[in-house]
Amino acid sequence: MLRLTFVILFGLTTLLLSPVAMAQGTGVSFGVLQTDTSQPVDITSDNLSVNQEDGSALLTGNVLIIQGEMRLSADNVLVVRKTDGNGIERLEARGNVLLVSGEDAAEARTADYTIENGTVVMRGDVLLTQKGNTLGAEQMTVNLTTGNATLNGRVRTTLPGSGGD
């Protein structure tokens, strides 16, 4: 019993002192250290529909967005152009959203990627997986330029078992 108590306390201490756990309240690292958000954005999908009035485009079916090391996939993505018509302002991903950078992956219901500031805001049952550890929250904001992420709204984690006694 004493050994089991020690294993539990050691595991909790290790978790609480780890960079991921220390940062849960304020943030965690996500993906490669930095992503160059000025790189081209490559987009593929099954279908494309363009709105001539505002210049937006709706991509549906197996949407995959690639920018450097960052991969974003979703059921559909709305591409919103800047008001001056020069370039993309943001990408609004909906349904089965998956964001991958390096070895890190995050799932959510929706994600909005603002190209200019390199920020991705994921909402709805967010699940972040990093090296076998998982963190969940209602929302996660990722700054692709710095590699920092912040989780908000009932943050939860899964602790690995002791593997023995």
- Segment 15-24, tens digit of pLDDT: 333 334 333 4
CA 88 to centroid of chain Cα atoms: 20
**Lowest-confidence pick of 47-56, 100-109, 142-151, 156-165:** 156-165
Instruction: Tell me the backbone φ, ψ of residue 15, rounded to 5 degrees.
Output: -65, -45
pLDDT tens, position by position, 58-91: 999 999 999 888 899 999 999 999 988 788 899 9
CA 152 to centroid of chain Cα atoms: 13
- Cα separation, 148 vs 22, in Å, equals 13
Whole-structure pTM value = 0.75
In CATH, what class is 27-158? Answer: mainly beta
Q: Name the residue ranges covered by the structural domains of the chain.
A: 27-158
